Amino acid sequence: MESEIQLTPSGRLKHFLSVSGLSRALLTEILDTAESFIEVGERNIRKVPLLRGKTVVNLFFEPSTRTRSTFELAAKRLSADVLNLDISTSATSKGESLSDMLENLEAMASDMFVVRHSQSGAAHFIAESVTPNVAIVNAGDGWHAHPTQAMLDMLTIRQHKGSFEGLKVAIVGDILHSRVARSQIRALNTLGVAEVRVIAPNTLLPNDVECLGVKRFTQMEDGLKDLDVIIMLRLQKERMQGGLLPSEQEYYRLYGLNQQKLAMAKPDAIVMHPGPINRGVEISSDVADGPQSVILNQVTNGIAIRMAVMSMAMSGQTETNTSRKEALE
Amino acid sequence: MTEQIDVATLIAKMAQDIETQMQTRGISTYEIVGIHSGGVWIAQQLRQALKREQAVGEINISFYRDDFTRVGLHPQVSPSNLPFVIDNTHIVLVDDVLMSGRTVRAAMNELFDYGRPASIQFAVLIDINQRELPIAPSVVGTVMALATDERVKLIGPEDLHVNIQKIAIQDN
Amino acid sequence: MNVSAIEIINGKYWANDGWVKFESIRIIDGIITAINSDDPIEPLCVIDAKGGIVCPGLFDLNVALREPGYARNGNIDSETRAAAAAGVTQLCCTPDSQPVNDTKAVTKLIKEQANLSANCEVLPLGALTKALKGEQLSAHASLKEAGCVALSNGAAPISNLLVAQRCFEYAKTQNMPVFMTPMEKDLYEGCMHEGAVSTAIGLKGIPAIAETIAVAQLLQLAKATGVQLHLSQISCAESIQLIAEAKAAGTRVSADVAIVNLLYTHESVKGFNSHFHCIPPLRTEQDRQALLEGLKSGAIDAICSAHLPWEAAEKRMPFVETAVGMSSIESLIPAAVKLNENGELKLEVFLKAMTENPRNILHKEQNTIETGATANITVIDTEQKWVVEQQQTYSKGDNTMFYNEEVKGRVIATLCNGRLTHNTQDLNSKNNC
């Protein structure tokens, strides 16, 4: 199963590929660890020596300035050496296979790969079949998962709401193509919220979306009632060209979040967005900049969560490699 | 080991020693920093005994341990909190038990990441004296010997007292 | 010593609706001369069925031999050898070689190489359209002359219905059956079944309607043109219903199912296991059960392997980028034994779907186990345990469903048109059959 390859026999994280299959206790441990890393960012010397001497390679097969820079910052705050690989100009475009390229990197004594790839399952493929002794952190694979984003969103929710119990959370937007949404839904359900809703037109919802453990709403007004947390997803331009939506204007009218619609949720509801925001398409400026928006908190939490996940995965991976060496002796 | 340890008496003695030493060295201002969690409790007791206004600093050394890769992280301890500048400050570092000296090494590394102290002196309630590193306390409550299967633990934060526990020996 | 004699002992065969035990089946010069003969002879070799099964040689309707063109992944020699080891005596090879089998020349090349290897009989399927592009007719008559037994779209969609209609009319003129994998081009984008699993793991899925709509269209076209239609590798429950209705209404249609769809569902893809990246995709448990029922009711006539071997590197990538298909021919018998033991499909139904029914579809004479018949026989030890791994199989492809798994049931000998093409035993140590 997906989750088995992520854990050591003693239940510690050695790869972070997906929220799927991880227990509530482990997810809570990630959140708690991240909390203790937030303070590091407030010191003069924003570093701790946990990953000193370790090499972290950022393998971004899909471009991304924001996510890559937060991973880079997180690794550096853990005192790791960071190598950034821009895959579009490197070996794979010359025909070298993905597995050959990665094995070469491993031979150069890399301890961790942070991988973003356009194909679902890429991080699993690497962890399972290519370099199982390198800790793999999934920075987003196709439509499948974006677990660090989901965890930082969970941290933000916990900071503002105290606990997950009894919460009603809705995710609004292109669920069909969203790895963030899939990871968020899994995390929310594992952490025990009361209800997860998805709000979108049928063209942007998978037919079987209820199998993920959510309630489907195609009318936004119905979905907003009684909500504690509203997560808005970014709408990509390609969706209009792909025949899934007629226009941005109609989307904004039906599914965009403005002050008027926000008032239908609970008065202390928080508004989140994994970014980058399309003002006037998913969300109005006054809501994005307003008092109920916690979008900027999400950014700080991003570094802390990534520090937590990277240090946990590195320690689990080291445990595995040490017992492997001992078994061989 | 059946000797009863009276923590309050030891605290009083340690406070006296700190005052004497500061006078000898000509240090007029200094800060107290306790190592989580037992060291913080002792540090707070010392602050009271020394009638100081300034709050004690607290450091959590979990990110500076040298056994991180073997035992992993312990997220439940509260984060470090140093409400004063470290640069050019005289520090009294406080802990409950000194054994191998590795905790003090980690604490010093962490303090240096905050700034460059003028000096660091180390005050400890109980010195077990099983050093693995060249660490020397300048203020000691009491010295104690332990068998290989014994460990000592400070219980608190209320009603501070010391327990001696038997442990299973692990093959390292 | 009778050097032209082979004797099979100690097994059972299916006759008159039951399993009939036999002591010996004697084959001399490739003809079955006696069953349970009292006459002792010293044959060249003796094959001990160990209480297992003897059946007519298997007829596989869909095998990719990878030659010409895909040399790293297999060739006629290796894959027909694998077929012999799988108990197959006759097979239809798919036209999706490189170049495509759309000319006499390629058909002849295939037949010549198959004859040289002499592992089994190869009956090529010719390409329905030029280069399998789904746009223009290929030379159906020439292909038939060169030895093709039917025309196939090679699991590539036809570009539009008018082209399909013309192809059917022309094939009917040449009296050639058409083998079509039902795929509605505009809906067939994706790498697995569209359902709960594809939703959860975020892979683009192929909905059931991509197949069922094509099935409905092809059935209507077959009815209108009168061509003999065979639907290849059905995967959806609803397709079976449409086929059963068409049969009841008198349309000339038959259908087969790939062995992997009888054992596995889309759940196998959950860990992104690329061995299960197949087209048509593995669907739900309800579909799998309906396929098994379809075999029992006769709505589905045949089982095929849909054998498509790939070298390891082609499956060693993120899921979507991996090559499609499974090296399945040597898994046929272990799969049959598993289905029988699970109570899901009786062995005799499996065997009928791989012996009698395929031959009826192509109007070939039956292979029978009776005196006077040419020996086309497969001997199966239903109890033997083995591991499906590289050293134990003949195919160049490792992309099997039972990869490194221990399975039960193995072909121990195969006779094709009287000749021993596969033999794992050698009870007469002086001689090597």
Nearest-Cα distance to chain A for B113, in Å, is 6
pLDDT of residue C427: 46
Q: pLDDT band at residue A318, thresholds of 50, 70 and 90?
A: confident
Q: Clarify whether residues C326 and C414 are in a common domain.
A: no
Reported as a single tens digit per residue, the pLDDT across A60-69 is 988 888 899 9
CB contact under 8 Å between A38 and B77, yes or no, is no
The answer to whether residue C140 is domain-embedded is yes
Q: pLDDT band at residue A10, thresholds of 50, 70 and 90?
A: confident
Q: Clarify whether residues C268 and C128 are in a common domain.
A: yes
pLDDT of residue C428: 45
CB contact under 8 Å between C316 and A97, yes or no, is yes
Interface ipTM > 0.90: no
Interface probe for C, chosen from A126, A143, A149 (most Cβ of C below 10 Å), is A143
The answer to whether residue C78 is domain-embedded is yes
CATH of the domain at C36: 2.30.40.10
Contact list, B81 vs chain A (CB under 8 Å):
39
Give the B window 114-133 contacts with A, CB below 8 Å: 114-115
pLDDT of residue A327: 76
Nearest-Cα distance to chain A for C318, in Å, is 5
**pLDDT < 70 positions in chain C:** 1, 426-433
β strands within chain A, DSSP E? 55-60, 81-86, 112-117, 135-141, 168-172, 195-199, 215-217, 229-232, 270-272
Residue A12 contacts B, CB cutoff 8 Å:
yes
In order of their start, the domains of chain B are 7-166 (3.40.50.2020)
Rounded Cα distance, C315 and C399, in Å: 8
The answer to whether residue C35 is domain-embedded is yes
Question: Which of A35-44, A241-250, B58-67, C12-21 has the highest average model confidence (pLDDT)?
Answer: C12-21
Q: Clarify whether residues C31 and C176 are in a common domain.
A: no
Residue A314 contacts B, CB cutoff 8 Å:
yes
Q: Clarify whether residues C44 and C173 are in a common domain.
A: no
Q: Clarify whether residues C102 and C205 are in a common domain.
A: yes
Reported as a single tens digit per residue, the pLDDT across B57-101 is 999 888 888 777 666 666 556 778 899 999 999 999 999 999 999
CB contact under 8 Å between C199 and A209, yes or no, is yes
Instruction: For chain A, give every domain's residue range.
Output: 2-145+300-320, 147-297
Of C202, C271, C319, Cβ closest to residue A1: C271
Q: Clarify whether residues C82 and C39 are in a common domain.
A: no
Tell whether the model's pLDDT for residue A44 goes beyond 80.
Answer: no
Contact predicate A81/A56, CB 8 Å:
yes
Q: Clarify whether residues C152 and C21 are in a common domain.
A: no
pLDDT of residue A91: 54
pLDDT of residue C214: 96
Residue A43 contacts B, CB cutoff 8 Å:
yes
pLDDT of residue C430: 40
> Whole-structure pTM over 0.90, yes or no?
no
CB contact under 8 Å between A43 and B114, yes or no, is yes
What is the average pLDDT score of chain B? 88
Contact list, B108 vs chain A (CB under 8 Å):
none
Give chain C's contact residues with A (Cβ, < 8 Å): 194-196, 198-204, 207, 270-272, 274, 313, 316-321
Tell whether the model's pLDDT for residue B30 goes beyond 70.
Answer: yes
Tell whether the model's pLDDT for residue A196 goes beyond 90.
Answer: yes
Contact predicate B82/B55, CB 8 Å:
no
Q: Clarify whether residues C124 and C137 are in a common domain.
A: yes
The answer to whether residue C429 is domain-embedded is no
Of C198, C316, C320, Cβ closest to residue A119: C320
φ, ψ dihedrals at A274, nearest 5°: -70, -10
Q: pLDDT band at residue A93, thresholds of 50, 70 and 90?
A: low
pLDDT of residue B4: 72
CATH class of A147-297: alpha beta
Structural domain count of chain C:
2
Q: Clarify whether residues C79 and C49 are in a common domain.
A: no
pLDDT of residue A212: 94
User: Could you tell me which CATH number the domain at A2-145+300-320 has?
Assistant: 3.40.50.1370
Q: pLDDT band at residue A246, thresholds of 50, 70 and 90?
A: confident
Neighbour order of strands in the sheet with A135-141: A81-86, A55-60, A112-117, A135-141
Q: Clarify whether residues C75 and C32 are in a common domain.
A: no
Contact predicate A15/A285, CB 8 Å:
no
Least confident range of A7-21, A61-75, A229-243: A229-243
The answer to whether residue C390 is domain-embedded is no
The answer to whether residue C319 is domain-embedded is yes
Q: What is the H or E stretch that residue A188 is in?
A: helix A179-191
Of B63, B70, B72, Cβ closest to residue A48: B63
Tell whether the model's pLDDT for residue A89 goes beyond 70.
Answer: no
Contact list, A33 vs chain B (CB under 8 Å):
73, 75
CB contact under 8 Å between C201 and A209, yes or no, is no
CATH of the domain at C130: 3.20.20.140
Question: What residue numbers bound the domain in which C243 lies?
Answer: 57-361
Report the sign of the C-alpha dihedral through residues B6, B9, B15, B19, in that order.
negative
Q: Clarify whether residues C356 and C318 are in a common domain.
A: yes
Reported as a single tens digit per residue, the pLDDT across C61-85 is 999 999 999 999 999 999 999 999 9
The answer to whether residue C300 is domain-embedded is yes
pLDDT of residue B75: 59
CB contact under 8 Å between A50 and B68, yes or no, is yes
- Helix, strand, or coil here: C416? strand
